Amino acid sequence: MPTMPIGDGRHVYYAFDRADDADAPAVMLVHGLAESGEAWADWVPHLRGRFHVLRPDLRGYGQSTPLPAHHAWHFDELTGDLAALVGHLGLQQVDLVGAKIGGTVAMRLAMTRPELVRTLSVVGTSPDMSFMAARGHGWVDMIAEKGVEHWVRETTPRRMGSDLTPDLVEWWIDLMSQTAASTLQGFLKMVPTVDVSDGLGDIRAPTLVITSSGGLSAVDDVRRWQLRIPNSRLVVVQASSYHIAGSHVDRCAEEVVGLIDEAGR
């Protein structure tokens, strides 16, 4: 099983599909809350063959070592893991793609380790997670009382909107419900403290911001912070979901591949 140690006997799991061309660009896909690298399964056919495709499970998630509820989460642990994984695999740079809070992680990595990021794409995300303060604490209590699957089912209609078939909705519920309750309980306490807005102007990679008409924030609000990123552009997808990396794979992947191709010219 491909893993990278992160100390204290813990590890981060990753899936890495290499292209036949050793010099092909490497695309790193960073998942969001209560997910794993498997969240990008439907993106892989859009990328396989042309790119090396790297799908890490963030610390605590998926097949990475679960973390206890009392773990003192620090946001830069996540970016540090990703930077270490790039080195672990002998890569020079990645085309970095993140969804939901995975996009926030990706922005932070692009700010702090710009030499590692050739292009940046963030999908259905926000640089400032303070709006999660009220709901985050309620979710911690819900998970403790009724379990992860109950929380996932309660929150999926807002996350996925009406854009998926019932079978796909159940696929997402099953994927997210596999997350360790202890990881979520600790992580959700950290989320409202995350705000990388001050560093948006430090992002140097060509950047694509994809949001939806039914996003976490109004399109005009997203445009305001997107314009603070040099060499960035905004794409708006008409959708009732905010997790458009999951609900509108074809459109989002097409936009991301277009940015990567532009950077390679």
Q: What is the full DSSP assignment across the chain?
A: --EEEEETTEEEEEEEE--SSTTS-EEEEE--TT--GGGGGGGHHHHBTTBEEEEE--TTSTTSPP--TT----HHHHHHHHHHHHHHTT-S-EEEEEETHHHHHHHHHHHH-GGGEEEEEEES--SB-GGGHHHHHHHHHHHHHH-HHHHHHHHHHHHHTT-S-HHHHHHHHHHHHTS-HHHHHHHHHHGGG-B-GGGGGG--S-EEEEEETTSSS-HHHHHHHHTTSTTEEEEEE--S-S-HHHH-HHHHHHHHHHHHHHHT-
Instruction: Report the pLDDT value the prediction gives residue 1, as an integer from 0 to 100.
Output: 75
The stretch 182-197 carries a mean pLDDT of 95
> Which of 39, 118, 60 minimizes the C-alpha distance to 86?
118
Instruction: Report the pLDDT value the prediction gives residue 198, as an integer from 0 to 100.
Output: 97
Confidence of residue 174 (pLDDT cuts 50, 70, 90): very high
Instruction: Report the pLDDT value the prediction gives residue 199, as an integer from 0 to 100.
Output: 98
> Which of 76, 85, 78 minimizes the C-alpha distance to 13?
85
Mean of all residue pLDDT scores within the chain: 95
Cα-flanking dihedrals φ and ψ of residue 227, to 5°? -65, -15
> Which of 58, 69, 145 minimizes the C-alpha distance to 103?
58
The stretch 131-156 carries a mean pLDDT of 90
State what percent of residues in the chain have pLDDT above 90: 92
Confidence of residue 134 (pLDDT cuts 50, 70, 90): confident
User: Looking at this protein, which amino acid is placed at residue 253?
Assistant: A
Confidence of residue 85 (pLDDT cuts 50, 70, 90): very high
Confidence of residue 131 (pLDDT cuts 50, 70, 90): confident
- How far, in Å, CA of 95 to CA of 260, rounded? 7
- How far, in Å, CA of 255 to CA of 265, rounded? 16
Confidence of residue 132 (pLDDT cuts 50, 70, 90): confident
Cα-flanking dihedrals φ and ψ of residue 98, to 5°? -135, 145
- Residue 64 in contact with residue 182, Cβ under 8 Å? no
Confidence of residue 265 (pLDDT cuts 50, 70, 90): low
Asked whether the predicted pLDDT for residue 264 surpasses 90, the reply is no
pLDDT tens, position by position, 94-107? 999 999 999 999 99
Asked whether the predicted pLDDT for residue 135 surpasses 80, the reply is no
- Residue 108 in contact with residue 75, Cβ under 8 Å? yes
Instruction: Report the pLDDT value the prediction gives residue 62, as an integer from 0 to 100.
Output: 98
Instruction: Report the pLDDT value the prediction gives residue 101, as an integer from 0 to 100.
Output: 97
Cα-flanking dihedrals φ and ψ of residue 17, to 5°? -100, 110
- How far, in Å, CA of 24 to CA of 93, rounded? 11
Instruction: Report the pLDDT value the prediction gives residue 217, as an integer from 0 to 100.
Output: 87
Instruction: Return the residue matching tokens 């532009």.
Output: 262
Instruction: Report the pLDDT value the prediction gives residue 63, as an integer from 0 to 100.
Output: 98
- How far, in Å, CA of 172 to CA of 91, rounded? 31
The stretch 184-202 carries a mean pLDDT of 96
- Residue 28 in contact with residue 86, Cβ under 8 Å? yes
The stretch 45-49 carries a mean pLDDT of 95
Who has greater pLDDT, 136 or 249? Answer: 249
What CATH superfamily is the domain 3-263? Alpha/Beta hydrolase fold, catalytic domain (3.40.50.1820)
User: Looking at this protein, which amino acid is placed at residue 182?
Assistant: S
